Amino acid sequence: MYNPALTTDCTRLTKPLANLPAWVAFFRNADIPVMAETADTLEAMREREDDVDANLIGEMIADDPLMTLKVMAHGAKNRSARVVTEPETVTSTLVMMGISPFFRAFGPQPVLEHKLADRPEALAGLNEVLRRASRAANFALSFAVHRLDPDAAIIHQAALLHDFAEMLLWCHAPDLAMAIRNAQRADPTLRSSTEQRRRLHVDLLDLQHALMLEWHLPDLLIRFTDDKHAKQPNVLCVMLGVRLARHTADGWDNAAIPDDVSDVAHLLNLSTDATFSLLRGLDS
């Protein structure tokens, strides 16, 4: 269970690394913590391993972006050469791994709340990103279901993981993450990528794409999280889910929301009034 006494972390970055390869090298082997609820539930499931299956574990992991990332990366790294079709979701990865091998591979997990217990501001910042990711995934899934998209599960997962590099930054370089957030709050017109390059020497989306390639994540998942493919309807589900979650983080009065509603209406072939009602219903 959560223990505030577990706080020390001597691996935090306080200064930016030199370039993209340096950041990739750092995160390649960095420990990835998970939400306390995920860690606790995993241990409870471990005690009754014979009673759980891939669907049950997958549903448990589905709201934790960093645990999702860990399972997908582990599955890709350890995929047998005999496997012709790569698993594209957590549940299909668990089916490929098997339940007992999963529990052997994933022992008691490091916990976000422990890692940042001595930095409550950073933990609050990370929790904001986690909440935004969960809402983005719910929006994106709803769009996909409305469109009867067969890739709805992957779309949900892609939206959940869309900002995982920012989450890792909060975990391992909280001072840098906080400096970027504070600069953007001071100047709302400041572009994220501009401030990231200035503070980190790298764009987080570029870092994220490089890490997904480094960890051999599924091609479809990589494409669905890549804004460069935003003209494709399934990618649009992800992008619009992410945009809406970001713009509505503090309520529904953001000036960008009418454009978001219009774009979602076009995607779903609905009127703007019907779309707005749908979105508010999803967020209630």
- Residues 6 or more apart in contact with residue 281 via CB below 8 angstroms: none
61 and 29 both lie in a single domain? yes
Q: Report CA-CA distances (Å) from 125 to 41, 175, 281.
A: 24, 11, 26
pTM surpassing 0.85? yes
- Judgement on whether residues 189 and 216 belong to the same structural domain of the protein: yes
In terms of domains, do 119 and 260 share one?
yes
- For residues 71 and 61, is the Cβ–Cβ distance under 8 A? yes
- Whether the predicted pLDDT of 135 surpasses 80: yes
pLDDT tens-digit profile of 87-129?
889 999 999 999 999 999 999 999 999 999 999 999 999 999 9
Residues 146, 265: one domain? yes
Tens digits of per-residue pLDDT, 36-94? Answer: 999 999 999 999 999 999 999 999 998 899 999 999 999 988 876 666 567 889 999 99
Last residue of a domain, one of 51, 76, 110: 110
- Residue 69 falls within a domain, yes or no? yes
Residues 202 and 275 in one domain: yes
CA dihedral 203, 205, 208, 210 (to 10 degrees): -70
Domain count, the chain: 2
- We report the CATH number of the domain holding residue 222 as 1.10.3210.10
* Last residue in a domain, options 110, 133, 153: 110
Same domain, 278 and 150: yes
Tell me whether residue 185 is in a domain: yes
Q: Which of 78, 110, 142 is the last residue of a domain?
A: 110
